[in-house]
Structure 1
Amino acid sequence: MLVCHRLMMGDDMRRSARVLMTVLALGAMPMATPSFGAQGSQLAVAYNDQTDLDFRKGLQIRLSWTGDYAGAYDGQIAASSLRAIRDFQARHGMVADGVIDEAMLRLLIQKSDGAEAATGMALIDDAVTGQRVPLPMRLVEDLGPTDVGHLWRAADKTVEIETVRIAGTGQTLRGLFDVLSTPTPDRSVANAEFGGEWFTLDGNAGDHDYVMRFSAKGGDLRGFSVSYAKDRAKVMRPYVAVAGNLFEPFAGEPQAPLVASREPNAFSALLARSHTNGAFESRYAMASVDPKQPNLFEMPSPAPAKAAPAPVAQKPEFDMAGSGFVVSDDGWLLTNAHVVRACTSVLVGEQQVATKTILDTDNDLALVKVDGAVGEPLAMSVTKPRLGEDVLALGYPLRSILADSLNVTRGNVSSLLGLANDERYLQISAPVQPGNSGGPLVDLAGRVVGVVTAKLNAVAVADATGDIPQSINFAVRPDAAVAFLDRNAVAYETADASLPLESVPDATAAVKDSVLPIICVGR
């Protein structure tokens, strides 16, 4: 069954916009500033109070088609929607004030209609899997059922879309997420987020980018995957943003049983491969190093967590532990991807269970979310520290051997580049051990200037060179960490560059309550 999706028509949007502009004029409201402050809040209230829900949803959809908005289509105009309006205005040479006028509205309708028409997107009720999924009908043709769902593909194979249903197999959503979020030699994972009853992830496989989105009801797992060649990115990226919002995994009852297709398809092949959740292997092996030699650059592996003094029935076993720190008032903590990847569940401070996990495996960063108070957010520096600057590494290293309490080490920024001139990292002399992974690197004003992530493998270097290196460790640079927070709309605090430097004890006291152990259960 083909169901056509209709955005709000141009005339409807124009009428709502005229009402809004009249209200703004009568209220003599000041123009919004680029930041979401008091004026931005007033503008958001005006949009939400004086326009109807369909207009606001239509606005969000159209801004997705133009590549400016990536949030939910909830019809609530807040900071992300206002930012999208301003971004659209700025890109097209308009005053970026967040106020929609006739000229902007006309251009938005023109640009979004053009982007949608380029894909020919329509909502399809897929009888094979019971999903309602948006498809770019101008770009793909129906190749019929597969062994796990339904397949559509472009004639030149530059675009492939597949619906998937897995039921009655004992497979869990978390288990599927662990498999798919683990990079392989021919497939990278750029972002991965697990939300309990759903997950999304994206990355690259050869010359194609891909996106996957799955949901679950009990043992019924349904989702879809989109893969497209890089030269199709301009057309496909807006489609992916819209499709992710309009996808309805449980729109209907599926056809059973599934009928296998002879057509080879990427998702089925992926599931057929064997995957392991073994020890984390470094992504940073240097190409110039003899492959027979040990890897010179290693992650400080998550430390084995201290075992319980006596076995308790049904109590989960702690497999690995790292560190993390609070970055927002609403329960987000920042840590390393290698600390929390492929865990059955993640504990924060040994008590609170993380409800969401977002991974950036390219930069070895992760966000974990807890419901409840976890401490004051640490302020993030948006610029890299100075060469030679004093820094502190805080975390919970070797908890099975050392104390359970917070550990602090002092050092300097030895280099503004990582191994092999990697610009994502800082080299630091502060000692780090297994379990320090994901902890904050702070300056003596308490500002976060990095995320501890790796150390040089002294044994491998000694084997290769005959010399034992000392105090060569690495942290993710603050600009990479801030970019990760921005991509995921985390409301972090920006550090005040004018804060005075303190003594080591005072700087430690200012941040210590916001640094917590991160425990991986069931790896």
Structure 2
Amino acid sequence: MHGRLGGLMAAVVLAVSPVAYARDFQAVPSAPITSIIDLSVAYNTETDLSFRRGLQIRLAWTGDYAGPFSGMIAAPTLRAIRDFQARNGMHADGVITEPMLQKLVAMSDDAQSGLQVTMVDDRATGERLAVPLGSVRDMGPTEVGNLWRSDDNGVEIESVRIADTGQTFDGLYAVLSDATNKRSVLGAQKAQDWFTVSGMEAGRHYFMRFSAQGADLRGFSVSYTDAYEDKLAPFVTVASNLFEPFVNEPSAPLVADARPNPFSSMLARRRNAADGEARYAMADKGRGGRASNLFELPSDSRGQTPVYDNMQAIAPQPGTPAFDMAGSGFVIAKGWLLTNAHVVRGCKKVEVGNKMMASDVTIDEAHDLALIHVAAELGKPLTISVGKPRLGEDVLALGFPLRSILADSLNVTRGNVSSLLGLMNDPRYLQISAPVQPGNSGGPLVDLAGRVVGVVTAKLDAVAVADATGDIPQSINFAIRPDTVSTFLRDHHIAFEAADPKAALESVPDATAKVKDAVYPVVCVD
């Protein structure tokens, strides 16, 4: 076992005292909402890394932050600070004061009190994972890892290792992220080498995280009843961030040689079953005689309506964040929208448009792209340009920037393709002059024929450049190129439509009218 978690949790106090920190930041003016970059730069340059990581961990314990504990203060952390301030009757400006810091320390301490969260080295799987030893007892090994359970069966935590079984990372994600007639999937995120899935089953909340290193798949699951939600929901965010899947070698084989592998059997049962009954990957009922239901297979519904479809109308309405750091997205195929990975990274849930909740989110961190699946009627999919845009070509950036400040309707700006390469000659990006703001990320960049020629992604950090050169850059923004987008969509088996290269150019209003119904705001909600 390791004490790293305790050290991280203490960092927000130990790195600098609350009084000293508040005094230092009183020198930073109470920044208006339009000064997001200024405030982010101030945090990242005037405080040390241990403080910033500790801040993110404590905001996770209060339920305000669900992103990575990177120590980089960007839009998600700023939003979490503002949400915490708004919920506690403070001025939601994102500037930490002494009273706010003291309140945060007290509330985060209270949130984890009694849990006794400890980093545990699991010999069975070789993982290092956070376990609330104040709430659960070590029940010993299972077929695929180790089990911890509370005395009242209200909490179960299981480590899992799958190796040399024929199971693949993509195959496991496909199984676990598919809702069944007994298990809903309320959140699913997939990156290149990890994924998370969460939802409800048999009245219990569940969360799973898996990582891959070649054919070696390691992960953990958490399941808990409503009685534990207040304590365990923040714990899940912390445990997911601190999970270290490949720190040790496992001490034993995955499954005894004489016994069938449950995950291989799981896939076979999925292919062959036709009775529509629930089938479980974990056949062993384990201690207490109750079968694990975290790995239930999707049943062969044969026309039945998936549970998640039925849940759309009765799902609780998402809360309105104190500071809306929404991005944008656009329809790329039936039921699918495309956006940036950084728009949805760390979101517990994703809302599209008028309260449509995402049923699946797939993230590609390497290319900063993400797919969002929505089980609802969307606008007509946009078409992707098959060729590179021309240097100097007129382009339109569509999206929903600064929705907490500007109008919440679609915003359109016009510019040109300034360069066919990004920063430092990066071939994945275009440089554009169309003005963009926070919230434009993930929106389409289209030409005057309505063809998608890029995905709006970033703008040059004017503050950093001004500090370095003494000059403020203007209209230097970036979009992901269409060939990168096409490759990403093909890799994820999305049947998109290639644009007609001979389509006629139109006026700006006509080109806008042609594509506007396919563009939606994308918002993280708790």
Smaller-chain TM-score bracket = 0.5 to 0.7
- Larger mean CA deviation between 277-286 and 149-158 belongs to 277-286
Alpha-carbon distance, 1:509 to partner: 2.1
Checking the alignment, whether the CA contact within 8 Å between 1:64 and 1:241 is kept in structure 2 is yes
Over the matched positions of the two proteins, sequence identity in percent amounts to 41
Q: 1:359 to 1:252 in 2, by over 3 A?
A: farther
Measured after TM superposition, the shift of residue 204 of structure 1 is 0.4
- 1:111 deviates by 1.2
Structure 1 residues 329 and 342: alpha-carbon distance in aligned structure 2, compared to 1, 3 A threshold? closer
Residue of structure 1 equivalent to 2:287: 263
Work out the CA distance in 1 between the residues paired with 2:377 and 2:135: 33
Report the alpha carbon displacement of residue 134 of structure 1 after superposing the two structures with TM.
0.5
- CA apart distance, 1:43: 1.9
Contact 1:329 1:377 in 2 (8 A): no
| 1:509 alignment partner in structure 2 | 511
After superposition, give the CA deviation of every residue in 1:432-454 in whole Å (9 maximum; x if it has no partner). Answer: xxxxxxxx9xxxxx9xxxxxxxx
Match of 1:379 in 2: 399
Residue 147 of structure 1 deviates from its aligned partner by: 0.8
Q: Which amino acid aligns with 1:234?
A: D
* CA distance in 1 between partners of 2:77 and 2:287 (Å): 41
3-state SS, counterpart of residue 119 of structure 1: coil
Displacement after TM superposition at 1:221 (Å): 0.5
**Distance across 2 between alignment mates of 1:202 and 1:190:** 6
Q: 1:118 to 1:133 in 2, by over 3 A?
A: same
1:22: how far off?
2.7
For residue 42 of structure 1, report the CA deviation from its aligned partner: 1.6
Q: Give 3-state SS (helix, strand or coil) of 1:256's partner.
A: coil
Give the TM-score, by structure 2 length. Answer: 0.56
Write the deviation string for residues 266-303 of structure 1: whole angstroms up to 9, x where unpaired: 8965547575598885659999xxxxxxxxxxxxxxxx
Aligned to 2:72: 76
AA of the residue aligned to 2:215: G
- Could you say which residue in structure 2 is the equivalent of 1:307? none
Shift of 1:356: 4.2
The match for 1:197 is 193
TM-score normalized by structure 1? 0.56
With over 3 angstroms needed to count, the CA separation of the structure-2 counterparts of 1:116 and 1:377, relative to structure 1, is farther
- Partner SS for 1:252: coil
Alpha-carbon distance in structure 2 between the residues aligned to 1:69 and 1:142: 29
Counterpart position of 1:114: 110
Work out whether residues 211 and 225 of structure 1, in 8 Å CA contact, stay in contact via their aligned partners in 2.
yes
Aligned residues: 350
Structure 1 pair 17/222, CA: closer, same or farther in 2 (3 Å)? farther
Offset at 1:30?
Answer: 2.6
Unpaired runs of 5+ in structure 2? 257-283, 312-331, 345-349, 390-394, 405-443, 445-449, 451-505, 519-526
Checking the alignment, whether the CA contact within 8 Å between 2:144 and 2:254 is kept in structure 1 is yes
Q: Secondary structure of the residue that 1:213 maps to in structure 2? A: strand
Larger Rg, first or second structure (1 or 2):
1
* Aligned 8 A contact 1:161 1:227 in 2: yes
Write the distance in 1 (CA, Å) between the matches of 2:169 and 2:73: 32
Give how far 1:102 is off: 1.7
Q: 1:220 to 1:380 in 2, by over 3 A?
A: same
Selected match of 1:217 from 200, 213, 217: 213
Kept in 1, the 8 Å contact 2:180–2:307? The answer is: no
Letter matched to residue 31 of structure 2: A
Distance 1:250-1:99 versus aligned 2 partners, 3 A rule = same
* Equivalent residues of 2:127, 2:247 under 8 A apart: yes
Query: What are the within-5 Å matches in structure 2 for residues 137-156 of structure 1?
Result: 137-156=133-152
- Counterparts of 1:66 and 1:265, CA distance in 2: 35
**Hey, what's the Cα distance between the residues in 1 that align with 2:252 and 2:214?**
18
Letter in structure 1 aligned against 2:53:
K
Q: In 2, Cα distance between the equivalents of 1:109 and 1:509?
A: 52
Instruction: Give me the whole-angstrom Cα distance separating, in 2, the residues matched to 1:342 and 1:239.
Output: 22
CA–CA distance in 1 between the matches of 2:205 and 2:388? 37
| Of 207-216 and 259-268, the range deviating more from structure 2 | 259-268
Judged with a 3 Å threshold, the aligned counterparts in structure 2 of structure 1 residues 359 and 146 are, in CA distance, closer, same or farther, namely: farther
Q: Letter of the aligned partner of 1:5 in structure 2?
A: L
